[in-house]
């Protein structure tokens, strides 16, 4: 089955072609980060307009790169939510109209399901069950995954997401938007032991997180130490956030008896998180699976892949709605 995947939930337009026999054939991405950077964050209306500009050229690109035509498609998957309503509607409208014109099914995919299954686009995918640490710009969740659509929420953030904490801390340090990658780069040049920041909820005995207090602690530290100490502050922040993510992920594995851990979402690209998690997990006999670096952040490949899993079971219903808010644990099992 050849599936076109379309991602347009936020500030990246991603399109990809996934074949259930031959795997990922091609993918293309246009990032709007430079455009939103001038405003310090995503401007929803500008995001929607830019998705409109990019979505068809990217679709033509992935088809021509893989030597396929629209007539070869068996189905189309698009991000149905969660995300920005206008941005979601661009992908959903394009995918639904194209599928209708071609007489093939279309399926709406949960953005976080796409992230969570993205490590499966690999020659050595993890088997079910596994624990998934989802760390994106808007979500931080620990899930027990026993199959496609079989998700049990173990814990989540009570306030800011991990990515949001990286972004807000980066902003406090004058690093622009989105700050995660820049903060991580700066942290690599700093001394993480110079300043001690709190590790919120480290010993709370559950799998929930809280990152807003950490952000406030950074603000206090920046006022006290000054921006000349930015590298050491970035390193201290990263060490604190990563310590909590690693500890809770390993505790969730122990709690659920899983010896496989999947890390997905933008913060999964963080080198310090990857190094520490892989080391500490190995010491406990747990294997960690990451998506390819380029598939940690938003992309069309993860939507095409998740869509291919779901399309086999989809009813070709011509109506559609986007879901700007959507709980991952409420999905149907396939
Ligand atoms: O998954 P994603 O692309 O978008 C959402 O679905 O939200 O995640 C974006 C988030 C941003 O907060 C960004 O700062 C963060 O992932 N991020 C990182 C790194 N690369 C991206 N955070 C820490 N270290 C990184 N290397
Ligand atoms: Zn995402």
- Same domain for 235 and 86? no
Same domain, 273 and 145: yes
Decide if 58 is inside a domain: yes
- The token pair that represents 140 in the structure block: 């931080």
**Is 103 within the bounds of a domain?**
yes
Q: Are residues 320 and 259 in the same domain?
A: no
* Residues 282 and 325 placed together within one structural domain of the fold: no
Q: What is the residue with the minimal CA distance to atom 24 of ligand 1?
A: 270
Q: Decide whether any atom of ligand 1 lies within 6 Å of the 238 Cβ.
A: no
Q: Tell me what pLDDT residue 241 has.
A: 98
pLDDT above 60 for 13: yes
Residues 77 and 13 placed together within one structural domain of the fold: yes
Is 121 part of any domain?
Answer: no
Q: Is residue 123 part of a domain?
A: no
Rg from Cα positions in the chain = 20
**Ligand 1 atom closest to Cα of 265?**
1
- Is 298's C-beta closer than 6 angstroms to any atom of ligand 1? yes
**Domain containing 228 — which CATH number?**
3.30.420.40
Ligand nearest to the CA of 291: 1
Residue 315 has pLDDT above 70, yes or no: no
Task: Based on the fold, state whether residues 139 and 76 are members of the same structural domain.
Answer: no
Q: Ligand 2 centre from 28 Cα, in Å?
A: 16
Q: Are residues 198 and 279 in the same domain?
A: yes
Domain holding 67, by residue range, is 2-116+295-330
- Asked if 297 and 30 count as a contact pair (C-beta separation under 8 A), the reply is no
Sign of CA dihedral 255, 257, 259, 261: negative
pLDDT at position 272: 97
Percentage, residues of the chain above pLDDT 70? 98
In order, the DSSP letters of 99-128 are HHHHT--EEEEEHHHHHHHGGGSSSSPPPS
Residues 233 and 320 in one domain: no
User: Is residue 156 located within the same domain as residue 193?
Assistant: yes
The residue whose CA is least distant from atom 8 of ligand 1 is 266
52 Ramachandran zone, left/alpha/beta (phi>0; psi -120 to 50)? alpha
In this prediction, residue 332 carries a pLDDT of 84
SS3 150: strand
Could you read off the pLDDT of 77-131 as tens digits, one per residue? 999 999 999 999 999 999 999 999 999 999 999 999 999 999 999 989 999 999 9
Is 168 among the domain residues? yes
Tens digit of each residue's pLDDT (9 = 90 or more) over 143-191: 999 999 999 999 999 999 999 999 999 999 999 888 999 999 999 999 9
| Nearby residues for ligand 2 (ion, Cβ within 5 Å) | 136, 298
In a domain, 122, yes or no: no
Domain count, the chain: 2
pLDDT of 196: 95
Tell me if 80 is assigned to some domain. Answer: yes
Question: CB of 266 closer than 6 A to ligand 1?
Answer: yes
């Amino acid at each position: 089955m050849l599936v076109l995947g379309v991602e347009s939930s936020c500030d990246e337009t991603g399109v990809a072609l996934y074949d259930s026999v031959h795997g990922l054939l091609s993918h293309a991405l246009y990032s709007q980060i430079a455009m939103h950077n001038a405003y310090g964050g995503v401007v929803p209306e500008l995001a929607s307009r830019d998705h409109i500009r990019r979505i068809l050229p990217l679709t033509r690109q992935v088809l021509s790169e893989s030597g396929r035509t629209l007539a070869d498609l068996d189905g189309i998957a698009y991000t149905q939510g969660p995300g920005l309503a206008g941005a979601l509607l661009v992908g959903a409208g394009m995918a639904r109209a194209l599928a209708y014109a071609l007489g093939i099914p279309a399926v709406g995919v949960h953005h976080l399901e796409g992230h969570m299954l993205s490590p499966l686009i690999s020659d050595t995918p993890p088997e079910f069950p596994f624990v998934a640490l989802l760390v994106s710009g808007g979500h931080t969740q620990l899930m027990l995954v026993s199959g496609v659509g079989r998700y049990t929420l173990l814990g989540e953030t009570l306030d800011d997401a991990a990515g949001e904490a990286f972004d807000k801390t980066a902003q406090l340090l004058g690093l622009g938007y989105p700050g995660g990658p820049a903060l991580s780069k700066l942290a690599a040049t700093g001394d993480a032991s110079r300043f001690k920041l709190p590790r919120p909820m480290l010993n709370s005995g559950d799998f929930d997180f809280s990152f807003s207090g950490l952000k406030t602690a950074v603000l206090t530290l920046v006022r006290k130490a000054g921006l000349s100490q930015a590298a050491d502050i970035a390193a201290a922040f990263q060490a604190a956030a990563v310590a909590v993510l690693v500890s809770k992920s390993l505790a969730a594995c122990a709690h659920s008896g899983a010896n496989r851990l999947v890390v997905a979402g933008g913060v999964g690209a963080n080198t310090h998180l990857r190094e520490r998690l892989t080391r500490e997990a190995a010491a406990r006999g747990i294997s960690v699976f990451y998506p390819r670096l380029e598939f940690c952040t938003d992309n069309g490949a993860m939507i095409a892949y998740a869509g291919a899993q779901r399309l086999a079971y989809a009813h070709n219903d011509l109506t559609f709605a986007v879901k700007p808010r959507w709980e991952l644990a409420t999905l149907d099992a396939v």
